[in-house]
Amino acid sequence: MGKELKTNAMRFLDKSKIEYTVQTYECDEFIDGIHTAEKLGQPLEETFKTLVAQGKSGNYFCFLIPVALELDMKKAAKSVGEKSVELIHVKDITKITGYVRGGCTPIGMKKQFMTVVHNSAESLPLFFISGGRIGVQIHLSPQELVKAIRGKFEDIIL
């Protein structure tokens, strides 16, 4: 098969000199983060999903939260200085981010959006996020990720 295929997320991490490992799994279509974590034997509290929302201003934002938890829309809006935010429609994910549902990650998107990571990740040495393609997970330092994308940690869950 030759060289391993790199996603935009991996290229960004390589360029930023951020250490990471990749875990892959067989998957023909979208499966949710809980099933992905279970399939790979990853702890749910260390496996994060990427949600993309749009604020009243029209700006887009990324929110990373543990896969088994729900985003608190009020806390999320406050964390990015918006009156309110709404999750984008699934059909718009690729157009806005360049990624497909189930492969969306806050790194290597068409444009770098302000990103807020749930503060439970701040104390983790490593966590799992999507690798930019369905069937690919990246294991890396949440602190290094947040620093590289100029994100921040905040309490954004229900």
Query: Residue 128 is part of which domain span?
Result: 8-154
92 within domain boundaries: yes
Q: Tokens 């990720």 correspond to what residue?
A: 145
The CATH number of whichever domain residue 121 belongs to comes to 3.90.960.10
Angle at 56 between CA 155 and CA 51, to 5 degrees: 45
93 within domain boundaries: yes
35 within domain boundaries: yes
| 30-76 pLDDT, tens digit each | 678 888 888 888 999 999 999 999 999 999 999 999 999 999 999 99
134 within domain boundaries: yes
How many angstroms separate the most distant Cα atoms in the chain? 49
pLDDT at 5: 78
Q: What is the pLDDT tens value at each position of the chain, 158 positions in all?
A: 335 678 999 999 999 999 999 998 887 666 788 888 888 889 999 999 999 999 999 999 999 999 999 999 999 999 999 999 999 999 999 999 999 888 899 999 989 999 999 999 999 999 999 999 888 999 999 999 999 999 999 999 99
109 within domain boundaries: yes
Phi-psi label, residue 41: left if phi above 0, alpha if psi -120 to 50, beta otherwise? left
By C-alpha distance, which of 98, 96, 64 is closest to 80?
64
3 within domain boundaries: no
d(CA 143, CA 139): 12
124 within domain boundaries: yes
Cα–Cα distances in Å, from 119 out to 4, 50, 58, 102, 112?
33, 14, 25, 22, 20
61 within domain boundaries: yes
pTM metric for this prediction:
0.92
Query: How many domains, in total, are found in the chain?
Result: 1
